[in-house]
């Protein structure tokens, strides 16, 4: 049965479940001090995880690319996030898994000797743009001042907390009376924004950038759904000029799904309403949360473990 102390979220820290309000990590953890970590976020909708296996696959690729060795098996991590959600009783949830490099002991500087740490938590579902905002469409800018960190410096396919460039982009958006921003790379090509991938729909096809981006699970879902209804989708370079002249623009994220853009750099897109293709894909995306092949049912009646050795 669910427990009311977890109603606002449940976390797993150092082998124990606790209310998310009590969760904390050691201040010396290099995930905090150096942002030396990877993480993933998976959604729960109507009591089911959505594409959990795909998220875990990406999470595992990330920690392996960072040459980390988590203290738990992937199977144990999966059990923990199921238990976090079951304890919370949340039917719609934002669930995060994190692996950090860990805590240096006795002044140790050799990162190969650090004991990596695993953390997880489930909280109420988080929206980049709330549903009522999405119905009006998002006001987006192409950032002029902030440039996406080069992929040779930070691999964007490994989900990370190094958001310095994205935060600069957000402040620029606010300064320009917009909701959010998308960043360009050094060659002037569109990459991604704070927590989202981007698609342009133009002349009957979707285009989404190949480089400087996270390989988003929602992005992959949109590509799958577009294929089902016969809309061509290309993963190819997308210039700022192409984006500004698109018939429709949509953002994709686990935190919000498929989100229509109706204004870019102060200019209205089309008639100012969310695009028809975007809204069709948005509807299909949420309907897909009931597909058996993409969902994992949570048993809220099963007691959660108090600890995992």
With beta carbons less than 8 A apart as the criterion, state whether 56 and 296 touch.
no
Q: What is the pLDDT of residues 71-126, one digit of tens each?
A: 999 999 999 999 999 999 999 999 999 999 999 988 899 999 999 999 999 999 99
With beta carbons less than 8 A apart as the criterion, state whether 181 and 142 touch.
yes
pLDDT at 287: 98
Tokens of 31: 């995930």
The distance from CA 203 to its chain's CA centroid, rounded to whole angstroms, is: 29
**Number of Cβ within a 10 Å radius of residue 13:** 18
pLDDT at 307: 44
CA distance 148 to 51: 28
184-189, long-range: CB < 8 A, 24+ apart: 184/142, 184/143, 184/147, 184/148, 184/240, 185/147, 185/148, 185/150, 185/211, 185/212, 186/147, 186/150, 187/237, 188/239, 188/240, 189/237, 189/238, 189/239, 189/240
CA distance 199 to 138: 13
Question: Which of the residues in the chain have pLDDT under 50?
Answer: 1, 306-309
Query: Counting every residue, how long is the chain?
Result: 309
Domains and CATH numbers, the chain: 4-126 (3.30.470.10), 131-274 (3.20.10.10)
DSSP code, position 189? B
pLDDT at 290: 97
């Amino acid at each position: 049965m669910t427990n009311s102390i977890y109603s606002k979220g449940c976390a797993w820290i150092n082998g124990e479940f606790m209310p998310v309000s009590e969760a904390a990590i050691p201040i010396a953890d290099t995930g905090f001090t150096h942002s030396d970590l990877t993480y993933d976020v998976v959604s729960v909708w109507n009591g089911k995880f959505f594409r959990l296996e795909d998220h875990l696959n990406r999470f595992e690729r990330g920690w392996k690319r960072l040459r980390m060795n988590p203290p738990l098996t992937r199977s144990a991590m999966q059990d923990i996030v199921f238990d976090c959600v079951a304890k919370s009783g949340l039917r719609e949830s934002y669930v995060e898994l994190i692996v950090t490099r860990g805590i240096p002991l006795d002044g140790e500087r050799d990162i190969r000797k650090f004991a990596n740490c695993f953390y997880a938590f489930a909280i109420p579902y988080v929206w980049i743009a709330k549903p009522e905002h999405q119905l009006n469409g998002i006001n987006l800018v192409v950032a002029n001042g902030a440039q996406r960190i080069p992929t040779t410096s930070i691999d964007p396919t490994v989900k990370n907390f190094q958001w310095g460039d994205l935060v600069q982009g957000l402040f620029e958006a606010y300064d320009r009376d917009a909701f959010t921003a998308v960043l360009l790379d050094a060659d002037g090509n569109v990459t991604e924004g704070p927590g989202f991938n981007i698609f342009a729909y133009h002349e009957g096809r979707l285009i989404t950038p190949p480089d400087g981006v996270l390989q988003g699970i929602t992005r992959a879902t949109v590509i799958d759904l577009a294929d089902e209804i016969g809309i061509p989708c290309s993963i190819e370079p997308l210039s700022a000029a192409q984006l500004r002249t698109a018939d429709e623009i949509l953002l994709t994220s686990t935190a919000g799904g498929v989100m229509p853009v109706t204004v870019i750099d102060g200019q209205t897109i089309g008639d100012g309403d969310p695009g028809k293709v975007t809204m069709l894909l948005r509807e299909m995306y949420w309907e897909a949360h009931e597909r058996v092949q993409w969902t994992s049912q949570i048993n809220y009646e099963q007691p959660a473990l108090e600890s995992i050795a």
